[in-house]
Amino acid sequence: MNNKGTFKSFDGLELFYQYWKNDSNIKAVLVIVHGFGEHSGRYMNVVNHFIPNGYCIYSYDLRGHGQSPGQRGYIKDWKEYREDLKTFISFVKNKMPDTPLFLMGHSLGGLIVLEYVLHYPEGLKAVISSGPLLSEIPTSTFLLSLGRLFSRIIPRFSMDTKLDSTAISRDLNVVKAYQDDPLVHSLGTARLGT
């Protein structure tokens, strides 16, 4: 069963979320944080594997992603990601109070969950970080300096990151689904870059 709705983020922004569950014998909850330019609906392979095995899956669209509001690829401060996740986990725990909770993030989401657990390790059974964005993206010194300057004077300056969508999978059907998904974007802002 798939359900959708919104929850209020730490600063009052209404973020889109969805969850999947089989009503019988739920043994654990898995919260998924998606990658850059993606959204919560891109993890159906994970959902389809875990639901029959007794898990309930919750996921939300990061601000500026998927069906959540906000400029694509923009955050004012990194803490927005961390505090949104804290609010969402509290929201999920309120709905499933006595169920073990696992946290999983992929790519940008992998970095978000690792940074989150450094601040808020309580109440999590385990954390899974898939392909976390841990290293700097190879960029020229000039572009890095320009990005830092733009971040200060025009932080919402946006441009296409030119992510290579063919590199997301060796499965051509997965690549095509990604390329055809109207909720996927490749926009980044000066502030997000810094």
The predicted-structure confidence for 68-103, as pLDDT tens digits, reads as follows 999 999 999 999 999 999 999 999 999 999 999 999
Selected residue with higher pLDDT from 93 and 142: 93
Q: In angstroms, rounded to a whole number, what is the distance separating the alpha carbons of residues 37 and 60?
A: 13
Question: For residue 133, what pLDDT band results from cuts at 50, 70 and 90?
Answer: confident
Question: Which pTM was predicted?
Answer: 0.93
Fold of the 2-193 domain: Rossmann fold (3.40.50)
Please report, to the nearest 10 degrees, the dihedral formed by the alpha carbons of residues 178, 184, 114, 13 taken in order: -150
Mean pLDDT, rounded, of the chain: 92
Give the per-residue pLDDT at 167: 86
